[in-house]
Copies of this chain bind each other. A is one copy, B any other.
Amino acid sequence: MDTTLDTTPLHKAFDDVAAAITVDPLFAATRFRADSDLVGLCEVDVRIGDRTLKVDEPTPLGGSGAAPNPMEYALASLGACQAITYRYWSERLGVKIDRLRVEVRGEQDVRGMFGYENVRAGFGSVDVHVQLTGPEAPERYTALREAVERHCPLLDLFASPVPVRTRLSVT
C-alpha cells in the first residue's frame, strides 16, 4: 500500500452514533443478515442486501476452488474489523495513523470437520499481526491497541462464545 490514509474525520462516527442513540435508543440494536443457497457441488451463493458473495471449497476438500472458503471469509472479517476498529479508535483517542495492515493467519485440523474423534471442527488457533505506520510516541499506539482489543466486534466473536440458535425446516 503506497498511499497515505484518507484523514477526513470519520464523519464524526462516534458523535453521530451517540446523537442517534439519544434520539432513538433502538438505533443501537442493529440486525445483520445473510442468506446462503447451495448452488453447486459445494458452491454457495450468499446474498447480503443486493450483493451476492461466492463461496466454495478448494479442490483438495472436494470443491472446485471457484471462491474463498468459509474459513477464509471468517479470517477476512476479523482482519477487516481489526483495521476498522483501529480506524474508529484512532480518531476517538486522537492517535494519528498513516498506514495500517492486518495480517491474519488461522490453523485448522480438517480431520475435525470430516468426523475424526477428538479433533476440533473449527480453528485451533488464530494469529493477528497489526502493522502500523504513524508519527506518535509508542505508548500512544499501545493505548490504541488496548482500546481496539476491548471494542473490536470480530475479536469478541473469535474470543468469546456467542449464543447461537439453530433450526431445521424440512419440506
A170-B32 contact in complex given A38-B5, A68-B48, A110-B17, C-beta closer than 8 Å: no
Query: Which chain B positions have C-beta within 8 A of A153?
Result: 70-71, 108, 112-113, 121-123
Among A22-37, those with CB < 8 Å from B are: 27-37
Among A59-104, those with CB < 8 Å from B are: 59-63, 67-88, 92, 97, 99-104
Contact of A157 among B59, B134, B150, B157 (CB under 8 A): B157
Query: Which chain B positions have C-beta within 8 A of A128?
Result: 164-167
Interface majority SS (helix, strand, loop, mixed), chain A:
mixed
Give, as a whole number of angstroms, the nearest-CB distance from A167 to chain B: 5
Closest Cβ neighbor of A53 among chain B residues: B76
| Complex CA–CA separation, A32 to B110 (angstroms) | 12
* Extra inter-chain contacts (12) besides given A13-B42, A129-B167, CB under 8 Å: A11-B41, A33-B103, A48-B72, A49-B68, A55-B80, A121-B151, A121-B153, A122-B156, A125-B165, A128-B166, A132-B168, A158-B161
Residue pairs across A and B with Cβ atoms less than 8 A apart, 27 shown, are: A10-B41, A30-B71, A30-B108, A31-B108, A33-B75, A33-B104, A34-B79, A36-B80, A48-B68, A70-B78, A73-B76, A73-B80, A74-B77, A74-B157, A82-B166, A112-B153, A112-B156, A113-B152, A120-B156, A122-B160, A128-B164, A129-B167, A130-B168, A131-B169, A132-B171, A133-B171, A160-B161
Q: Which 5 A-B pairs have the closest CB atoms?
A: A13-B62, A122-B156, A36-B79, A70-B81, A73-B77
Interface residues of A (CB under 8 A from B): 1, 3, 5-6, 8, 10-14, 16-18, 20-21, 27-42, 44, 46, 48-49, 51, 53, 55, 57, 59-63, 67-88, 92, 97, 99-115, 120-134, 138, 141-142, 145, 147, 149-171
